[in-house]
Amino acid sequence: MTRNARALAFAMTLACLAIAATGLQMARDRAYAPGPTDNQLLYVSSGRMIEKIALSYDAILADAYWIRALQHYGREHLKTEGVKTYDLLYPLLDLTTTLDPQFVIAYRFGAPFLAESRPNGAGRSDLAIALLKKGIGRTPDKWDYYHDIGFIYYWHLHDYRQAAEWFKRGGDRPGAPWWLKTYAAVMLARGGDRQASRFMWQQLTQSESAWLRETSHRRLTQLDALDQIDELQRVSEGFTARAGRNARSWNELVTAGLLRGVPLDPTGTPYLLDAATGDVGLGRGSSLSPLPTEPAAAPEMAASAPPPVLR
């Protein structure tokens, strides 16, 4: 047998064996289906222990846990059946940041994932703040973490005094941008108004993170939709006052000369008019849904705050 013939025979034998092994595996899986993979398994829960075991490879392990955290969030976020649970999100982020305490993006991405209300996030502002405080413990001069905590107090917890306090502390850090201190002032003066929200989200459109930029653009669009809903609500209420009943459809308001056409939200989906109550809301299938729960002015601030500027 020549050298080439031997090589060919070797290659063919190898190919046959590979095909046979694949076929056998497929047949076995059909006959004895493997059990479902448990994606919720954490393997190790102690960051300190895994840090020791990792020897000098802790940073690369942190990367692996970071990718797992992203996959966990993505899998739950895209889930169409069952309850979206983000139970492993905090433990995975905690492990990531224990193994690599300077992994900035794990704190700054992880905290919004945790704080975002369900079903888009874990709805755990407390854990988001804990994660960011852990970051501050490691790098006390990182103003971004103070900013993010302030933002969680503002947007998710509606605690403007705490928000102002954290923005102020962030503004005192070396290298902090000038506008962080103005955040604190805005919080104390007009914590609950939509202009304040718009101002803060507009600052975030300049973020270096593409995800935060996208999120802030979406939030700004949602705020536009809230403005439009308020305007349409006034039109609907005006019709009710004049006609003594609610409008049955947008067309009725168009015919009455109150609107020029069926109103569309910024994504092009028609708004919904509830004929029974006269309430206006987002149309079914609008990608802006659910609209954020708007921060409301805290009672003790409402008294001292200037009147809200809504458009």
Partner 1 sequence: MSAIRHIAVNVFRESVRDKVPYNLVLFALMLMGVSYLLGQLSAGQEIKIIKDLGLAAMSLFGSFIAVFIGIGLVSKEVERRSIYALLAKPISRRQLVMGKYLGLVLTLLVNIAVMTVAFYTVLGVMAWMDGSWFRPHWGASALDPALLKAIAMIGLQLMIVTAVALLFSTFSSPMLAAGLTFGLYIIGHFNADLKNFEAVVDSRPIAYLARAMYYLLPNLAPLDVKAQVVHGVHVPAGLLLFNTAYALVYIAALLVVATFIFARRDFK
Q: Considering only residues 14, 60, 264, 296, which one is a binding residue for partner 1 as defined by CB under 8 A?
A: 60
- Residue 132 or 253 having the CB closest to partner 1: 132
Count of residues that interact with partner 1, criterion CB under 8 A: 23
Listed residue (265, 179, 191, 267) closest to 230, CA to CA: 265
Per CB under 8 A, 210 contacts partner 1: yes
**Smallest distance from partner 1 to CB 106, Å:** 9
If one asks whether residue 48 binds partner 1 (CB under 8 A), the answer comes out as no
Among 22, 39, 46, 102, binds partner 1 (CB under 8 A): 102
C-alpha torsion 244→250→251→256, nearest 10 = 40
Q: Is 19 in the site for partner 1 (CB under 8 A)?
A: no
Find all residues with CB under 8 Å of 198, minimum gap 6, and list them.
220, 223
Q: Is 116 in the site for partner 1 (CB under 8 A)?
A: no
**Near partner 1 in 222-241, by CB under 8 A:** none
Residue 58 contacts partner 1 per CB under 8 A: yes
By the rule CB under 8 A, 78 interacts with partner 1: no
56 contacts partner 1 (rule: CB under 8 A): yes
Q: Residue 63, interface with partner 1 (CB under 8 A)?
A: yes
In one-letter notation, the amino acid at residue 255 is: T
Can residue 109 be called a binding residue for partner 1 (CB under 8 A)? yes
> Is residue 57 at the binding interface for partner 1, with CB under 8 A as the rule?
yes
Query: Which span (181-189, 204-212, 284-292, 295-303) binds partner 1, by CB under 8 A?
Result: 204-212
Distance in Å, CB of 205 to partner 1, minimum: 15
List 272's β-bridge partners, or say none: 281
CA-nearest of 167, 117, 176 to 147 is 167
Backbone angles phi, psi at 264, to 5 degrees: -115, 145
Number of neighbours of residue 176 by Cβ within 10 angstroms? 19
- Cβ neighbors of 300 (< 8 A, separation 6 or more) are none
Q: What is the DSSP string of 230-252?
A: HHHHHHHHHHHHHHSS--SSHHH
Closest distance to partner 1 from the beta carbon of 63 (Å): 5
User: Beta partners for 264?
Assistant: 270
CA angle 103, 105, 109 (to 5 degrees): 135
Which one of residues 18, 42, 59, 296 is an interface residue with partner 1 (CB under 8 A)? 59
Alpha carbon distance 74, 55 (integer Å)? 30
- Exposure string of 69-108, with b = 16+ CB inside 10 Å and e = fewer, is bbebbeebeeeeeeebebebbbbbbbbbbbbbbebeebbb
Distance CA 306, CA 309 (A): 9
Which residue type sits at 58? D
| Least distance CB 144 / partner 1 (angstroms) | 9
* Residue 100 touching partner 1 (CB under 8 A): yes
Based on CB atoms, which residue is closest to partner 1, 104 or 258? 104
Stretch in the footprint of partner 1 (CB under 8 A) among 27-35, 64-72, 126-134, 269-277: 64-72
**10 touching partner 1, by CB under 8 A:** no
- Residues at the contact surface with partner 1, assessed by CB under 8 A: 52, 55-60, 62-63, 66-67, 70-71, 100, 102, 104-105, 108-109, 208-211
